[in-house]
Amino acid sequence: MGKESRRRFFKTAVKLLGAFFLGQSCSKRCPEESLGMDYLCSSCQKLGFPMAVGTCSACGRMTSSIGLKLCNSCGCKLDQCQSCLKSL
């Protein structure tokens, strides 16, 4: 595991733990399915995304498009746009 991968892993872990301890994880149910584009900001909803499988930068699972940085599940858990990572 490279230095950048470890940094990304720990950054994501801190966000998830923070959400858990603040009770945010209990307030909404996030999908377990990684495919989908349900968590896009209003700007990114207007964009077109190529239908080619990509990889989630947070968990490493598949995304619905190579243009997405987060899978459906991580977009919900982190409350970020799957494409531009802006807070939702």
Instruction: Give the integer Cα–Cα distance in Å for 67 and 47.
Output: 10
Cβ-defined contacts of 58-63 (< 8 Å, 24+): 58/8, 58/12, 59/12, 59/34, 61/34, 62/34, 62/35, 63/34, 63/35
Mean pLDDT of 33-48: 93
In this predicted structure, what is the pLDDT of residue 20? 60
Choose between 54 and 29: higher pLDDT: 54
Full-model pTM: 0.67
Question: What's the pLDDT band for 25 if we cut at 50, 70, 90?
Answer: very low
Q: What is the mean pLDDT of residues 57-80?
A: 94
